[in-house]
Structure 1
């Protein structure tokens, strides 16, 4: 006796409904995989349970690319036939699409942060890991680029500071040379030259040569005591000079 056809209506029993959902969901995902492999088709399948849990399947092109293709196709169809649809109806259709898109993006963000990974199978986890690795490579490349640019900028600043430092040192040396050159002539002009006179010569009385209208030139020798030396002719000197010599000058 063959199995009868199941009547399509909502299963009232909660447990039976959950069991049926699990069996049919697995079969639906399997059929989606078979048609994508056998027919080389891009398939995207999204299923929400009564509790709001998401189940999905997509081919290697990923769910995002398939949804973008669907949106582009729908937009092109609306552009070709603008009179066939009511604007209010379009808004009512677009709103669920946008909400689904937002929810999908939020779910992807959670996956990238390592959250809500239980519904993902092995292939989806591998795809997610590959996407994260690609993003990390781009981030590291950009980070290394910024580090190299920062190092190059610091090296330029260091070189400019070194040149400025060398210029300041050169100016200081030139100022020191100028100050030293001005100080040497002034010190030569201010220095006085002293000649040492021996004590024996400082107390010697030199020979006095007296001449004039009193009888030619005579030499007067004296030892500094005011006494006339022998052999000196006083008659040749005027009287005021004789008194001056005899009194010791």
Structure 2
């Protein structure tokens, strides 16, 4: 009577799974050794158990598995020069499209859109992220406002210094003009008889000398038609 067919699926029982792994591992390594001897093939097998333990077999002398790995990488790189590079490019494009779709969904959620499809935990995480982002934005805004205030204060000081400098220049110019316009040290009389007081003397009203009576002698000569 033959054995029944075993369903290929994960063995849930830990002990049975470990026993099956040991038996089939030994059988696989034995088959690899037989294939290398019978067919003169170079065979390499690497096995990692569920606990992380590694098992390997290599038929190339002197059991150098690294030699087979290097040969495999060279062979794959030669094949990838043509179709492999295009396939890698298509894979990268698909990956970027997927990332872009995820970012668009996240942006809509941050704007309060398409929230019906996410769970309560996702909404709470989104709320925490938004609050953290708002705190960072406010901190940056305060830094910019502080910088603007410092710049305005510095400009205020510069304008104040310039204003004081201009005020002193105007004051000095007015003082020089006042000195140039002061009268001489002594009183003078112009051709019309106007008297100018000496600086520092008591003020006297300016007056003009006028003759009280006409020159009678000159008048008599003129009446008689005589000329001097």
Specify the TM-score bucket, using the shorter chain as the normaliser: 0.3 to 0.5
Q: TM-score, normalised by structure 2?
A: 0.40
Structure of greater relative contact order (alpha carbons < 8 Å, 6+ residues apart): 1
Looking at CA atoms only, which structure, 1 or 2, has the larger radius of gyration?
A: 1
